[in-house]
Amino acid sequence: MTQNTAVEARHAVKAFGQGDNAVRALDDVSIEIRKGEFFTLLGPSGCGKTTLLRLIAGFEMPTSGTILLDGQDITYLPPNQRPVNTVFQSYALFPHLTVAQNVGFGLQMQGRPKAEVKETVARMLALVKLEPMANRKTSQLSGGQQQRVALARALAPKPKVLLLDEPLSALDLKLRKEMQIELKRLQTETGITFVFVTHDQEEALTMSDRIGVMSAGKLQQIGAPKDIYTRPVNRFVASFIGETNFLPATAEAGAARLATGDLIDLPGLAGSGHVTVTVRPEQVRLVETTDPGAIAATVKSMVYFGTDTHCYMALKDGTEVVARLQSPATGEAGLQQGQQVGLRFAPGAAQIVED
């Protein structure tokens, strides 16, 4: 652990059940989360991300391993003795209290002076832009406003780490996008370490300084959003973070040969045997069929998404390839089902991933 580390898990294991029926929700997970960063645990349901969050919060005890905060071993410390706060998916607000009373509740339980509570509540409401709502009951607020109250309440005691367990999942799409921006603003302004749990790739890519991708209780990859997206370490990460194409191929010196016989330049690739090439749809370029080196394909369908149009194609051996094309102003891509096209990949876009 370095001085810049806020939270660290060392070989954390969490098993539910006994003997042969035991299920490892976390399987030897080690991770360091830096001070002042927005760190996201990303993965499908059942991957272990919420279990890891609960170990940090103290709601669960690990079967083995250690949890540290600022270098202090907090593995078996009760939740109320940890300098962390949690924002839950359900918000868990008190409906009989006003917005201001909800925000100040934790401070009052800590026995803070009334003047300090009042000043902190005012500052938190200004931070989440809810000053006009101070005297309203939380039942009179929208979902987005309730979430802001929950955030203000969690931030009021100045925790060293704020844990967020899928807090945006109950919001509609437009509000969810707005709150993504708000969460990142709050984290930047407060400087508090945020540990955010989600299964939504867009949320993770939009807000995070770093992402930890999880699957089956294990950490698959940790890195900045751009690194995770452009350089996934295996097939799971490549498929879970956005859309991608997988092309079966055979390794040759400096290239991969597709089943169609076409060669894809991959400098540094050595050896032989089966490999999987991955390339993102936005890195697929459509060219004339007569273009030298073009890979022949047949258009199967076109799907219009507003700013983008997705072109679904099949190579000569039946392998499916998707290209994401910018939609013209007319909304028509100018391609027809059954049309023969050529395709290329942007320089450096194709890479090998482990299966």
CATH of the domain at 342: 2.40.50.100
| pLDDT by position in tens, the chain (length 355) | 667 999 999 999 999 988 778 899 999 999 999 999 999 999 999 999 999 999 999 999 999 999 999 999 999 999 989 999 999 888 788 888 999 999 999 888 888 999 999 999 999 999 888 999 999 998 888 888 888 898 999 999 999 999 999 988 877 888 888 888 888 999 999 999 999 999 999 899 999 999 999 999 999 999 999 999 999 999 999 999 989 999 999 998 889 999 999 999 998 888 778 999 999 999 999 999 899 889 999 999 999 888 899 999 999 999 999 999 987 755 445 788 999 999 999 988 999 998 7
Q: Are residues 200 and 340 in the same domain?
A: no
Residue indicated by tokens 């026995």:
111
Strands 193-198 and 161-165: parallel
DSSP line for 176-210: HHHHHHHHHHHHHHH--EEEEEES-HHHHHHH-SE
- Distance between CA atoms of residues 48 and 213, nearest Å: 10
Cα three-residue angle 265-270-274, rounded to 5 degrees: 85
Q: Are residues 211 and 303 in the same domain?
A: no
- Distance between CA atoms of residues 195 and 53, nearest Å: 8
Q: Are residues 183 and 264 in the same domain?
A: no
- If one counts every other C-beta atom within 10 angstroms of the C-beta of residue 131, the result is 13
Q: Are residues 54 and 163 in the same domain?
A: yes
Structural domains in the chain (count)? 2
pTM across the whole model: 0.89
Q: Are residues 113 and 224 in the same domain?
A: yes
Q: Is residue 49 a contact partner of residue 214, using CB atoms and an 8 Å limit?
A: yes
> DSSP letter at 151?
H
Residue indicated by tokens 């209780």:
217
Q: Is residue 228 a contact partner of residue 241, using CB atoms and an 8 Å limit?
A: yes
- Distance between CA atoms of residues 113 and 110, nearest Å: 9
| Residues whose CB falls within 8 Å of the CB of residue 53, separated by 6 or more in sequence, listed in order | 41, 86, 163, 165, 195, 197
Q: Residue 221 belongs to a domain with what CATH number? A: 3.40.50.300
Q: Are residues 161 and 113 in the same domain?
A: yes
Q: Are residues 30 and 65 in the same domain?
A: yes
- Supply 103's token pair: 């925000």
Final residue in a domain of this structure, among 203, 236, 269: 236
- For residue 82, which of 160, 141, 140 has the smallest C-alpha distance? 160
Residue indicated by tokens 């300084």:
209
- Distance between CA atoms of residues 71 and 83, nearest Å: 13
Residue 51: domain span: 5-236
- If one counts every other C-beta atom within 10 angstroms of the C-beta of residue 349, the result is 16
Q: Are residues 11 and 36 in the same domain?
A: yes
Q: Are residues 232 and 250 in the same domain?
A: no
Cα three-residue angle 329-350-345, rounded to 5 degrees: 40
The H or E element spanning position 41 is strand 38-42
Final residue in a domain of this structure, among 236, 270, 296: 236
Final residue in a domain of this structure, among 200, 218, 236: 236
Exposed / middle / buried, residue 181 (Cβ in 10 Å: 0-12, 13-18, 19+): exposed
Q: Are residues 17 and 64 in the same domain?
A: yes
Could you tell me the CA-to-CA distances from 97 to 93, 101, 139 in Å, in that order?
8, 6, 9
